[in-house]
Amino acid sequence: MKRTKSESPEPHEIQMFYPDIKRPKIIQEEKENKYRGLLDLSDDVVLHIFKFVSAVDLMSLYLCCTRFNRLCCDRTLWKSLDLSDTHLSASDLDKYETFMQPATKLLFIRGNIGASELSELHLNFLNIVASKCPKLEDLIIEDYYINRHQIQIQHFPRTLKKLSLEGCHIQNFSNDKSYLNNIHLHIPSLTCLVLSNCLWVTNHSLMAISKIPNLKEVRMNSCHGLGEDIAYASIATKVGLKKLQILDVRDTFIGDSVVSSFSHISTLTEMYLECPSEETTLHVPEAQHQNRHVLLVQLPRPQAINQENVPAIQIVQENNVELNHANDDRCHVTDRSICSLSYHGSENNQEVVQHLEQVQLLHGRVRSSTNPYLKKLVIRNYQGVTDQTLQHFCNHGPSLLYLDVTGTSVTKEGLQNFKIQRPEVILISSFSEI
């Protein structure tokens, strides 16, 4: 077949008619760089790739083919079983039972608190976890319903070092007995406890928490059941919490008395405080209402209403004012309690005597220092915190490296003076220029 000059032969035609001629370099490279799929890789390479894939995606790969089915069950992939990428119902959890291995040390599951019939944690699941994961250390359960009649604290794995029940709701909850009762006996190795956004946590829960011997971190932010109840807080901090290092009680209704009780924890290194927003305060029922009605009923009532009975009515009104004042004391944190968290000196120091009334708020022995290892302190949106706190921290709190006073009543001049005297401290405030 004749070709015109404008036409050029194809490469495969050159090779066919002239077999001794070398193939062009481009053709050779195309053959060498032929596309290879995931199945063309060795098992070791595929397993290394799978280590960067989420557990939910591994489930999809597990269902792809026989080879991936075998590789996805490799025990090296399931040391951490993190299923937090999606909301899982109780039936969905059963699908991942295959991947629970004796080497698994972390399990993270997230439910959907808006669908109670789908997000209720079952006792059978916890039993499977305990039997298949004998070395489990971290168990993170978020946004699930837990029926107290079916699941109690002793049903959680005994080997845990970290337990998180963030956002979980306890069904059939009783105020007579804390859900965490005897947690120190059933989970003795626990070092981290996360109870964020758990409305069933109250001041009484501090008693159970304080008995955990090796506890180092407690997160109770947005636990609106925590209030200004000094009795439980004082006992818990004086008797227990001997190794606590991190305490988060932001967005709770604790006040000066409870905050001052934390000065007994000598091992504390980080503490987080933040006043609840007005929206939160409006939607949380006041604990004082019931007491108010009880007090009114207990007041002596006259048999007949006449002019002589008017003072009795005035007494009722005065009691109402007192109760309202007590209600305003919720989440009322001031310089007094904050200064008690960072006191450093000796009994022979004259400055100790001068500031003793401001620092030593609780009855008891005079201490030469409180929270000597405190490195990070967050105090946000408390109007009772002023420049007095900054002046106090200039001389006390030798280990302090981070201080957040955003939304407080500190002034720009006070912040500048603090920065001059303590330049090593990272200072966060409402003034962006500092």
Question: Tens-of-pLDDT digits for all 434 residues of the chain?
Answer: 455 555 555 555 555 555 555 555 555 555 555 556 788 888 888 888 888 888 888 888 888 888 888 888 888 888 999 998 888 887 888 888 888 989 999 999 998 876 655 688 889 999 999 999 999 999 999 999 999 999 999 999 999 999 999 999 998 777 668 899 999 999 999 999 999 999 999 999 999 999 999 999 999 999 999 998 889 999 999 999 999 999 999 999 999 999 999 999 999 999 999 999 877 765 565 543 333 333 333 334 434 434 444 333 333 333 333 333 334 455 789 999 999 997 765 444 444 334 444 444 444 444 556 888 999 999 999 999 999 999 999 988 889 999 999 999 999 999 999 999 999 999 999 987 66
Q: Which two tokens stand for residue 282?
A: 């409006």
Pairing label, strands 162-164, 80-82: unpaired
| pTM, to two decimals | 0.76
User: What is the pLDDT, as a whole number, of residue 63?
Assistant: 85
Tell whether the torsion through CA atoms of 350, 355, 356 and 357 is positive or negative. positive
Q: How many CB atoms lie within 10 A of CB 277?
A: 11
Burial class (CB in 10 A: 0-12, 13-18, 19+), 16: exposed
User: What is the pLDDT, as a whole number, of residue 8?
Assistant: 53
Backbone φ and ψ of 140, nearest 5°: -115, 115
User: What is the pLDDT, as a whole number, of residue 364?
Assistant: 43
E-strand ranges in 223-335 read 246-248, 270-274
User: What is the pLDDT, as a whole number, of residue 194?
Assistant: 97
User: What is the pLDDT, as a whole number, of residue 24?
Assistant: 56
Q: How many CB atoms lie within 10 A of CB 248?
A: 22
Question: How far apart, in Å, are the Cα atoms of 71 and each of 14, 50, 156, 428?
Answer: 46, 9, 30, 49
* Coil/strand/helix, residue 56: helix
